[in-house]
């Protein structure tokens, strides 16, 4: 089927834009955003995904106010719809809209769900050049589990968020964050039978985009149960809002150390080592402040999982107090910890703020995790 995007010279196959290059049901195209005030009193995140071969689009917006206090709460709105065939109509899902104001520079998020306690009008303006992470490819037996590309970018936020009728204004320079765009193939939608078992269930993922005054750092790793890595990223990106920002500097190698909170699979402390191609190694120490649960934006949500068919249009919301009662429940294992960050060594002495995303399912020998979701016991 032809659509409006077919009038642009952007085709990557011999087919119309609406038709994906392959027919894998797990093909997806996604936006992710997060933001946090410098005093960490407010954290928010948003996600929007398109799953052309499932004919589904969905979006989520989530806010944590006063995450470090005893009365902290995470508030979420979710929406799902039949995916439009015309990609120009794919940026609105129910009450949530993502608008590209200037490609790779400025994007807008609008939310209008007062019945679920959330409204917002937010603009992301980049403070770094976009970073193309190394390609993700992961195979289990003969089955491709992941085959995707992701771009990460750092920026600042302006605008406002309304939570339960109270408006919070975000002035320029007060709120930082990051965003990513990813596309390709990874598990989405309703779980399907996979045939004979070929490996124990296991997924180990750490992702840490961090903002400092003059630069940002980016780190991630995927590891097998024995610590062998199948993906890693390390970049330093200078803060620059000029028309042309300097490309991020890729590291020669990255490494990390983690201390789990006893009885859980979340970090009590975390350290990253960045070895550049020239110069001295830098160490970044992270201090977790509170946790944001990724099911608030659909990741692993038992009802609002990414790519699941919910009908022509479905809108819902939920909320919970923090910290959660059972952090080892499967739907609560995927988190982003809001962290204070300090650098020493090659990057000099700096303080910043960011997130440490963690998803550790199954055995991981180097850090002492056993079972599927057993808490660390030392």
Convert the pLDDT of each residue in 94-122 to its tens digit: 999 999 999 999 999 999 999 999 999 99
Domain membership flag for residue 15: no
Query: With pLDDT > 90 as the criterion, what percentage of the chain qualifies?
Result: 85
Looking at residues 1-14, what average pLDDT do you find? 87
Query: For residues 283 and 270, what is the distance between their CA atoms, to the nearest angstrom?
Result: 10
Convert the pLDDT of each residue in 312-346 to its tens digit: 999 999 999 999 999 999 999 999 999 999 999 99
- Check residue 70 and give its pLDDT: 79
Question: Is the pLDDT confidence value at 241 over 70?
Answer: no
CATH of the domain at 335: 2.40.370.10
- Residues 33 and 296 sit within 8 Å (Cβ to Cβ): no
- Mapping DSSP onto H, E and C, the string for the chain reads CCCHHHHCCCCCCCCCCCCCCCCCCCEEEEEEEEEEECCCCEEEEEEEEEECCCCEEEEEEEEEECCCCCCCEEEEEEEEEECCCCHHHCCEECCEEEEEEECCCEEEEEEEEHHHCEEEEEEEEECCCCEECCCEEEEECCEEEEEEEEEEEEEEEEEEEEECCEEEEEEEEEEEEEEEEEEEECCCCCCCCCCCCCCCCCEEEEEEEEECCCEEEEEEEEECCCCCEEEEEEEEEECCCCCCCCCCEECCEEEEEEEECCCCCCEEEEEEEEECCCCCCEEEEEEEEEEEEHHHHCCCCCCCCCCCCCCCEEEEEEEEECCCCCCCCHHHCCEEEEEEEEEEECCCCEEEEEEEEEEEECCEHHHCECCCCCCCCC
- Check residue 10 and give its pLDDT: 85
Query: For residues 229 and 224, what is the distance between their CA atoms, to the nearest angstrom?
Result: 6
Tell me the β-bridge partners of 30: 49, 182
> pLDDT grade, residue 243 (50/70/90)?
low
Question: Is the pLDDT confidence value at 239 over 80?
Answer: yes
Q: How many CB atoms neighbour CB 244 within 10 A?
A: 7
Domain membership flag for residue 105: yes
Looking at residues 29-33, what average pLDDT do you find? 97
Query: For residues 345 and 342, what is the distance between their CA atoms, to the nearest angstrom?
Result: 10
Query: For residues 21 and 173, what is the distance between their CA atoms, to the nearest angstrom?
Result: 41
- Residues 361 and 372 sit within 8 Å (Cβ to Cβ): yes
Domain membership flag for residue 55: yes
CB under 8 Å to 242, separation ≥6 — which residues? Answer: none
Domain membership flag for residue 378: no
Residue 6, classified by CB atoms within 10 Å of its CB into exposed (0-12), middle (13-18) or buried (19+), is middle
Domain membership flag for residue 373: no
Range of the domain at 301: 27-188+201-367
Question: Is the pLDDT confidence value at 1 over 90?
Answer: no
CB under 8 Å to 236, separation ≥6 — which residues? Answer: 215, 216, 217, 218, 248, 249, 251, 274, 276, 347
The b-or-e profile of 295-305 (16+ CB within 10 A means b, else e) is: bbbbbbbeebb
Looking at residues 6-18, what average pLDDT do you find? 87
Output the CA torsion sign for 81, 86, 90, 94: negative
Looking at residues 273-287, what average pLDDT do you find? 97
Domain membership flag for residue 19: no
Question: Is the pLDDT confidence value at 280 over 70?
Answer: yes
- Tally of domains within the chain: 1
Looking at residues 35-51, what average pLDDT do you find? 97
Question: Is the pLDDT confidence value at 197 over 90?
Answer: no
> pLDDT grade, residue 186 (50/70/90)?
very high
Query: For residues 208 and 118, what is the distance between their CA atoms, to the nearest angstrom?
Result: 27
Domain membership flag for residue 209: yes
Domain membership flag for residue 259: yes
Looking at residues 307-315, what average pLDDT do you find? 97
The mean pLDDT value of the chain amounts to 95
């Amino acid at each position: 089927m032809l659509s409006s995007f077919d009038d642009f010279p952007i085709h990557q196959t011999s087919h119309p834009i609406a038709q994906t290059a392959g027919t894998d049901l797990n093909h997806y195209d996604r936006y992710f955003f997060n933001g946090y005030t410098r005093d960490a009193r407010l954290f928010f995140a948003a996600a929007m995904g398109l799953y052309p071969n499932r004919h589904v689009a969905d979006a989520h917006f989530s806010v944590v106010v006063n995450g470090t206090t005893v009365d902290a709460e995470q508030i979420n709105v979710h929406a799902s719809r039949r995916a439009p065939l015309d990609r120009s109509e794919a940026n609105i899902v129910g009450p949530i809209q993502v608008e590209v104001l200037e490609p790779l520079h400025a994007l807008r998020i609008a939310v209008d769900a007062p019945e679920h306690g959330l409204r917002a009008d937010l603009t992301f303006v980049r403070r770094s050049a976009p970073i193309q992470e190394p390609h993700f490819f992961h195979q289990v037996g003969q089955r491709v589990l992941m085959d995707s590309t992701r771009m990460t970018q750092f920026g600042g936020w302006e605008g406002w968020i309304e939570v339960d009728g109270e408006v919070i204004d975000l002035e320029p320079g007060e709120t930082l964050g990051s965003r990513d765009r990813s596309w390709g193939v990874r598990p989405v939608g309703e779980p399907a039978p996979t045939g004979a078992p070929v490996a124990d269930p296991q997924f180990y993922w750490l992702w840490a985009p961090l903002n400092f005054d003059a630069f940002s750092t980016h780190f991630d790793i995927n590891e097998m149960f024995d610590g062998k890595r199948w993906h890693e990223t390390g970049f330093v990106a200078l803060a620059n809002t000029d028309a042309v920002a300097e490309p991020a500097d890729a590291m020669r190698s990255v490494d990390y150390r983690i201390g789990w909170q006893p009885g859980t699979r979340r970090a009590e402390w975390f350290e990253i080592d960045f070895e550049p191609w020239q110069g001295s190694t830098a160490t970044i120490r992270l201090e977790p402040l509170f946790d944001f649960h990724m099911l608030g934006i659909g990741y692993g949500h038992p009802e609002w999982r990414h790519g699941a068919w919910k009908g022509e249009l479905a809108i819902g919301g939920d909320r919970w107090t923090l910290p959660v009662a059972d952090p080892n429940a499967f739907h609560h294992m995927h988190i982003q910890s809001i962290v204070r960050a300090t650098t020493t060594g090659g990057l000099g002495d700096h303080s910043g703020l960011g997130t440490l995303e963690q998803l550790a399912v199954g055995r991981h020998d180097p850090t002492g995790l056993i079972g599927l979701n057993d808490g660390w016991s030392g």
